[in-house]
Chain A
Amino acid sequence: MTESVSPYTDRRQRHAADMMGMYLFLGTEIMLFGGLFAAMALTRLQHPAEYVAHSRELHLWIGAWNTVILLTSSLFAALAVHAAREGAGRAAARWLGATAAFGLGFLALKATEYTLEFREGLLPVTGGDGALSEPVQRLFMHLYLVSTGLHAVHLTIGICVVTGLAWRLRRAESARAIPVEITGLYWHLIDVVWVFLYPVLYLAR
């Protein structure tokens, strides 16, 4: 007879512990992006008129469509978790594949937007900053590039993890729900970060 060395009394407790560990990690992510949001808040506090003027230069509708894409990808991630909980591995894999595809769609649209801004001379990178004349405009566009860039890096990691999980589950007759749930939490947090980035950067009026 083998003696159990599990620290958990039951599955429910184990599930709660797994979720709590992930939420602690997500807390560090919230603080990482929170520092950038604090910088944006103080920039707006100090230069309200300029902040609004430079926000108007961003592509509001590209940002709106990317929000639609990301919110939809989150729905697919939630449906993947539901499928995994029902033990439907292949269905979970399909929803995860759709999640990753919409994540790629977001990145493609974001790349198009960066290209437009580069041509307009608004991107604070070598060769793309010709139209940046004022210091506050440069600061605003730096905050924009760093925060959306950091968000894109997180989304890229999310796409890799989601794709890997979908690949593992592609022929599964059943599925352990916890890896799908934890991956889903990460994906949804990236969505939440964008939900705040969009109005703070694009919709300041």
Chain B
Amino acid sequence: MSVTRLLVLTWAALLLLLALTVAASFLLVGPPSLAAGIGIAAAKAALIFWVFMHLREDTGLLRVVAIAAFAWLGILFALGGLAYLG
């Protein structure tokens, strides 16, 4: 598959996911709605990182560096949430 074709298909997939997340906001409420919103956003972010930001071409070490911040973010959320869930 040519690079241009891959980029345009990725863009089309992103728009499809956007339509899906808007539709989900009309159909779901509460925790399922939150899960759909965050889940679809994560799928879109993964597509952007993998194709548009070239992680699919990069080495393993570079991939780890690129997504390491999300691990730190997980720690921030876990520790921040603990104070309120207890």
CA distance A60 to B84 in the complex (A): 29
User: Is B48 in contact with A192, judged by CB distance below 8 angstroms?
Assistant: yes
**26 A–B pairs (Cβ distance < 8 Å), ordered by A:** A27-B72, A30-B73, A31-B76, A34-B72, A34-B76, A41-B77, A41-B80, A41-B81, A52-B29, A68-B18, A71-B15, A75-B7, A79-B4, A82-B3, A82-B4, A181-B54, A185-B53, A188-B49, A192-B44, A195-B41, A195-B44, A196-B45, A203-B25, A204-B33, A204-B37, A205-B30
Contacts of B53 in A (CB 8 A): 184-185, 188-189
Binding site for A on B (CB under 8 A): 3-4, 7-8, 10-11, 14-15, 18, 21-22, 24-26, 28-30, 33-34, 37-38, 40-41, 44-45, 48-49, 51-54, 58-59, 61-62, 65-66, 68-70, 72-73, 76-77, 80-81, 84-85
**Cβ of A1 under 8 Å from chain B:** no
User: Is A205 in contact with B76, judged by CB distance below 8 angstroms?
Assistant: no
Contacts of A81 in B (CB 8 A): 54
**Cβ of A26 under 8 Å from chain B:** yes
User: Is B34 in contact with A27, judged by CB distance below 8 angstroms?
Assistant: no
A93 to chain B, nearest CB (A): 17
Binding site for B on A (CB under 8 A): 16, 19-20, 23-24, 26-28, 30-31, 34-35, 37-38, 41-42, 44-46, 48, 52, 60, 64, 67-68, 71-72, 74-75, 77-79, 81-82, 181, 184-185, 188-189, 191-192, 195-196, 198-200, 202-205
User: Is B69 in contact with A31, judged by CB distance below 8 angstroms?
Assistant: yes
* Number of residue pairs spanning A and B whose beta carbons lie under 8 angstroms apart: 131
User: Is B22 in contact with A60, judged by CB distance below 8 angstroms?
Assistant: yes
User: Is A35 in contact with B76, judged by CB distance below 8 angstroms?
Assistant: yes
Q: Whose C-beta in chain A lies nearest to the C-beta of B85?
A: A45
B78 to chain A, nearest CB (A): 10
User: Is B45 in contact with A192, judged by CB distance below 8 angstroms?
Assistant: yes
CA distance A59 to B42 in the complex (A): 22
B48 to chain A, nearest CB (A): 5
